[in-house]
A and B are shown apart, each in its own frame.
Chain A
Amino acid sequence: MVNADEILNEFKEVVEKRHEYAKAWKERTNGKVVGYFCTYTPEEIFYAADNILPVRVAPGHALEGMGVVEPYIYSMFCPLCRDCCAQGFLGRYDYLDGICIGQSCIHMRQAFNAWRHYMKEDRGKDYEFKYYIYVPHGVQNPPAVPYMAAEVAEFKRAVEKWIGKTLTDADMDKGIKIMNRTRQLLTQLYEFRKRDDPPITGTEALYTVLAAMYMDKREYNDKLEQLVKLLPDRKLDRQTGFRLMTLSSLNDHVDFIHKVEELGSTVVIDEQCTGIRYFWGEVPEKPDRMMAIAERYILKRIPCPAKDWPERWRLEHVKRLAKEWNVKGALYLQYKFCDPHELDVVAVRDALNEMGIPMYFLELDVTVPWGQFRTRVEAFFEALGGIEELF
C-alpha cells in the first residue's frame, strides 16, 4: 500500500530529474515533447493531441549558464528568462521536439525567441514545432475572451498541422478533462493547507505543483489522486510555526523554501506561477471548446501582474488567499528586474499591511544567497513573533 511520503518522493524525483523523466517518457511512448515558456500556454491542446508531453521550461540555478546567454539576452533582463534561455544553449533541452509560448512578459519572450532563431544557427538544433500564441494582456477588456478563443483555435490548427491529425471535439474534451482534473486535485490539496497543522509542508506542495509541470498529467493525476486521499490522515512531526504566504513568479527554489520552513514556519499558501496561479480556475463545460478554454485563461485564472490592469484583480485574490489560509506573514520573492512584479510590490504590501499581515521583500537571482537571506528571514520572523528586544 503506497503512502503519502512515497508519492511525494516520486514527485520530488521527477522535479530534480525532469530531463531524465522527459527523455524516458519519449523513449517509452515514442511521443513528442514540447517546452513551453509561460503558464498562459493552453496545455489542453497538447493533451487533446494525445502523444505530446508539454513541459515547462525551467531555470537551472547554476551560474554556468550566464556565460552562454549573454549574446542573446542583455543582463538588465530578469535572471529567470536568462537562466531559462541558457538551459537551451547548454543543451539541457535537446530532447524537445517543439517550443511554444503563451504571450507573457517581454522578458521571457527573449528566451523563446533566442531558441526560435538561434538554436539552429548556433547549435544546429532545430525544432519541428515553434509557436507564439498571442495571448492577450488586456484580460479585463471584454473583447479579450473572443480574441483568446480565436488565438487558441489558430494554435490548435498549428498543432494539427504538425501532428497531421485533426483534433475533434472528443479529443478536446479529453484534453480539457485531463487539465481540469489536475486543477481540481491541486485545489483539494491546497484546501488541506488551511488546517492549523497542515498535513503537507510548503516545500512538499511546491514539489507537487512543479511535478505537474514536468510530468505526463495522465500519470500525474493518478498519483495526485492517491495523495489527496492519503493527506487527511497524514500527521507531520513538526511545528507549523509562522503561517506564511509566498508571492512570486516562477519560484522553484525548493531548497530555499525548505530552509525557510526549517527556521520555524510553514508556507501554507502561495500566489505564484509555480503554485495557485498555475491551476486556479477550470475550463467550463461549453459547446464552444475554444471559448471555454479562453474563459479559463482570461477570466478564471489568477492573472499574472503583467496582465493585471487597469484594476488590480490579482490583489483581491491575494487578500482572499491570505485571509482564508490564515496567513501571518508574506514573503515577496521577486526576480531581480522583473517589472510586472516590481510594479505590484507597493500595492501588495499596502494591502497586506492593512490586513495586519507584514510582508517581506526578497530579491531572487539565478542562485539564492542563503547566508544573507537566512539573517533577513530570521529577523522577519522575530518581527512576526513580536519580539521587541533582540538581546
Chain B
Amino acid sequence: MVRKDVPEYPTEPLKCWDEAKALRRKYYEDYLTAKEKGGIRWAGGAWSFSAIPEGLGDDVYCITSEPYGATIAFFKEFAMKCQEATEAAGYARDLCAYMRNYWGSELRDEYILADGRIVKGFPLPDFIWQDHICCSHAKWYQVVREIAKKKHGKDIPMYCIDVSVGPHIPRLHDELTDWRLEYVTKQLLDGIEWLEKVTGRRFDDKRMIDAIYNEMRSTSLWAEICTLNANVPAPLDEKTMYSLYVLGTLMKHKKECVEFYEKLLAEVKDRVRRGIAACKHERCRIITDTQPPWGFLSIFRYLEREYGCVSVGSLYTFGLIGMWEVKEDGTLGPKTVPPKSALKDRETAVRMYAEWMLNKPEWPHFFNPRVKSDLLIKIAKQWKLDGVALHYNRGCEGLSVHITQNRLDLLRAGIPVMVFEGNMGDEREFDMPRTLARFDMFMESLGLSKIKKE
C-alpha cells in the first residue's frame, strides 16, 4: 500500500558487502590465472549445471558467460568497444547484448576484471560446457569457437545440454514427465563421459556430489534471503541484491557461496528483526522484470531518493539463481533441500540435480507465459507490491519473450504496470531521461509525489 506520508526507517550498510565484492573479484582473477596454477578452464552459461565439471578436480575454473557480459556492460566505454568489434566482425546489433560484449572481448583479445582493469589476452577455455534454452545460448559458443580458431588456431571442444522440456513448477504448473527428466539426465550423464574424454581426467563422483549439494543449498538459501524482502520495510533493495545474487551466477556450486549466503541470511534476518530498511523512506514497493540496464543502475537510487520507492526484487533476481517451491498454503518459499545422503551415486545425484534445475522459476516463460504471470501475481501479493516495472529489454530476447503477454495478465489481475524500453548491455539503446520520465509518470499514477527535500 502506497504511503502518502514519508516514513523514516533506520538504515545501515550490509556488513558482508565487502566480502561479496572480494569473492567476485577473486572469481574473475582465478579464471585468468588458472593456468599458472596448473588448472583447467571451462566456459559456459550461468545455468549450465556447473556442479558437474567440479568432478574433474579442485583446480577447475569457470567463466560464466552472462555475468561476464554484464560486467562488461557496467563499464560502458569497454562495452562500446566490444560491441563495435562484434559488429565489425559481421554480427547484428540486435543480438543478445551479453553475447556481443563477450565476443567483442574475445575479438579484442582483452579481458576485464571485476574492478574494471583490462588485461591483454582473453583467457580461452579448455572446453565449453553449456546449456541451451534461448535461441542464442548454444550458438553463442559456436561463435566463440570460431573466433578462437580464427585468431588463435585453437579448436575448443564443446558440449551443450538441451533443457527445453517445459515448465516444472509443482503445485502451479508442472509438465515434467519421466521421459523429459530422463532426456536431460541422459545428456548430463553422457556429458560426464565427454568431460573425461576431452580433459583426459578421471571423473570424481564424490566431488561432483559435493558440488551438487552445495548448489542446492546455495540456491535455496538465496530464495530464503529473498523471502525476507516481503517484510516492511524491505531489508534489501534490488540494486544491492544484484551484487549479492551474482555470486550464485558465478559459483553456486562452491562451498564459499554456501557459506556466504548463510552469513548473508543471518544478517538479513537480523535486519528484519531490528527493522533496518534498505530504503530510508520506503513508501512504495515495486518489482522489476528481466535484467536491468547495467550501465544505468542509478535509476533505482533515483526512485528511492525521490519517491521512497524501493524495488524489492524481481522474478529475475529471485529466480535466476534462487530455487523455489510453491508451499502447501500457496505461498512461494525456498525449495526444500534433500538430505545429502539422497545423492547416493552418480546417476541418482545427476537425476536429482536435473530435476532441481528444471524447477528454475526463470524457465517456464520460455514455453508458457501464463506460468510466469502466475508467479508474478503471487510475488505481487506476497511481497506486498504497489506495482510492477517491466523492462522491455532489447538486449535479451530470452528473458523478454512473452513479456507483453505478462503485462496484459498483470493488468487484468489489477496490478499497476509500467513498461520501459532499454537494453541490459548496450547503452545506445537506453534513454535515461525518457526512462526517468516514465517512472515519474508511474509514481504519479500511484498517487506519489516526490519527497520534499529539507
Contact = CB atoms under 8 A, between A and B. Distances in A.
Q: Please indicate whether A and B come from the same complex rather than being unrelated chains.
A: yes
A342 B89 CA distance: 13
B166 A134 contact: yes
B400 A76 contact: yes
A309 interface: yes
A309 B142 contact: yes
Contacts of B294: none
Interface residues of B, number: 54
A364 B73 CA distance: 30
B397 A77 contact: yes
Contacts of B400: 74, 76
Interface residues of A, number: 48
Contact of B136 (A136, A147, A312, A343): A343
Contacts of A150: 177, 179-180, 183
Contacts of B403: 74
Contact of B179 (A118, A137, A147): A147
Contact of A74 (B146, B182, B392): B392
A343 B138 CA distance: 10
Interface string B115-145: 0000000000000101010111011111101
A339 B397 contact: yes
Contact of A147 (B138, B145, B159, B183): B183
Nearest to B183: A147
A73 interface: yes
B369 A117 contact: yes
B162 A110 contact: no
A103 to B, nearest CB: 6
Contacts of B138: 137, 309-310
Contacts of B145: 310
Interface in B355-412: 366-370, 392, 394, 397-398, 400-405, 407-408
B186 interface: yes
Nearest to B99: A343
Interface in A56-77: 70-74, 76-77
Residue with the greatest number of chain B CB neighbours at <10 A, chosen from A74, A105, A305, A340: A74
A132 interface: yes
Given A110-B405, A309-B132, 12 more contacts: A72-B404, A77-B401, A106-B398, A110-B402, A118-B408, A143-B182, A150-B179, A310-B145, A340-B135, A340-B139, A345-B91, A346-B89
3 interchain residue pairs of minimum CB distance: A138-B162, A309-B138, A147-B183
11 contacts: A70-B404, A105-B135, A141-B161, A143-B183, A144-B183, A147-B182, A147-B183, A310-B160, A339-B95, A342-B94, A343-B135
